[in-house]
Structure 1
Amino acid sequence: MNIIGISGWSGNGKTTLLTRLIPALKARGFKVSTIKHAHHKFDIDVPGKDSYRHREAGAEEVLISSSNRWALMHENHDNGEAHLEDLIARMAPVDILLVEGFKSESFPKIEVWRQESGTEPRVASDDSIVALATPDLTYVAPVPILNLNNENAIADFIVQYFKLEVTTNETAG
């Protein structure tokens, strides 16, 4: 599986980029999945639901299934947060796995950065960053600068980075 991260400080546009990048990669004929890092207070289960009651009763894992989708909830207990490699191992194989967040983990990442965010890009101090996606195309970085507003160019970069073969005629414009 080809794994690349979309990382950066909160508020720089990671999720917005991903929601545009996924269809751009799919249009090129690739199967795409994502892993999203969430804040520690995040929970998809709510009190009163059967799945919540199962977890509260002590189930280690609860899998919920319907005709539309299924979701697995695994209790971390005292083990702390799951490692990225453990989460990746649970994923079904796809052509490209996009990982949002996990900026401190060492794997290939495209950093998303906007000058107006008031943050500094991490590209100078993180050698796992392979490109910087920003609207400031004059920014000088030790990696390629990608136009944050051009998901097709970023999709093309990912395809070239992994040396993949596009199976449709949908390419950058």
Structure 2
Amino acid sequence: MRVIGLAGWSGAGKTTLLAALIPWLNAKGITVSTVKHAHHDFDVDHPGKDSHTHRLAGAGQVLVSSSLRWALMTELRGTPEPALPALLAHLDPVDLVIVEGFKRDAHPKVEVHRAANAKPWLHPEDPAIRAVAADSRPPGCLPHAALDDIPAIGALVLEHAAAWPG
């Protein structure tokens, strides 16, 4: 399994890029999973559903299964958030895992930057950034591609993804 991250400020287009990049990779026969970091309280469950009731009642984990998908929810209940390696260990093997967020971790990353955000570049302060996808020319000499050039970004992702574990 190989891992690469997409790192950038909110509004840079990471999720939009992933939505285009995943089908491009799949068309090349590459299996892909993703890990998304949320900086806020989030919920994948809904009030009124049995699984929600189980979780609120105090279950540490709730697994929901159907003929189309299954999902495992784990309540941390005050324990520390797991580190990225621990989360990756829960995934089934695939060719490539793309991590959205976790921008302070040391896995290799492609910086996603949009000039209209008026946010600073993450590189060169982050040595784990190996390439850039942006709508403007990045400073420095990292390999880069235009934000809308999915084949070029895909090539950067495949070139810079690292074998996992670490």
**Separation (CA, whole Å) in 2 of partners of 1:73 and 1:82:** 13
The answer to whether the 8 A contact 1:123-1:142 is kept is no
- Aligned partner of 1:156 in structure 2 is 155
Report SS of the residue matched to 1:120. Answer: coil
The answer to whether the 8 A contact 2:134-2:144 is kept is yes
Q: Which moved more, 1:21-30 or 1:40-49?
A: 40-49
The answer to whether the 8 A contact 1:124-1:142 is kept is no
Gaps of 5+ in 2: none
**Separation (CA, whole Å) in 2 of partners of 1:14 and 1:115:** 14
Q: Deviations over 1:60-106 (max 9, x none)?
A: 10000011111100011111322111110000000000011111111
- Aligned partner of 1:29 in structure 2 is 29
Q: Deviations over 1:6-26 (max 9, x none)?
A: 110000000000000101111
Identify if the C-alpha distance between structure 1 residues 103 and 162 changes in structure 2 by more than 3 Å, giving closer, same or farther. closer
**Separation (CA, whole Å) in 2 of partners of 1:70 and 1:39:** 24
Identity score, percent: 47
**Separation (CA, whole Å) in 2 of partners of 1:16 and 1:36:** 13
The answer to whether the 8 A contact 2:8-2:111 is kept is yes
Given the two structures, how large is their TM-score scaled by the length of structure 2? 0.92
Query: For residue 153 of structure 1, what is the amino acid of its counterpart?
Result: A
Q: Which moved more, 1:145-154 or 1:88-97?
A: 145-154
- Aligned partner of 1:169 in structure 2 is none
Query: For residue 154 of structure 1, what is the amino acid of its counterpart?
Result: I
- Aligned partner of 1:143 in structure 2 is 142
- Aligned partner of 2:63 in structure 1 is 63
* Equivalent pairs, count: 162
Displacement of 1:142 in angstroms is 3.7
Report SS of the residue matched to 1:62. Answer: strand
Gaps of 5+ in 1: 164-173
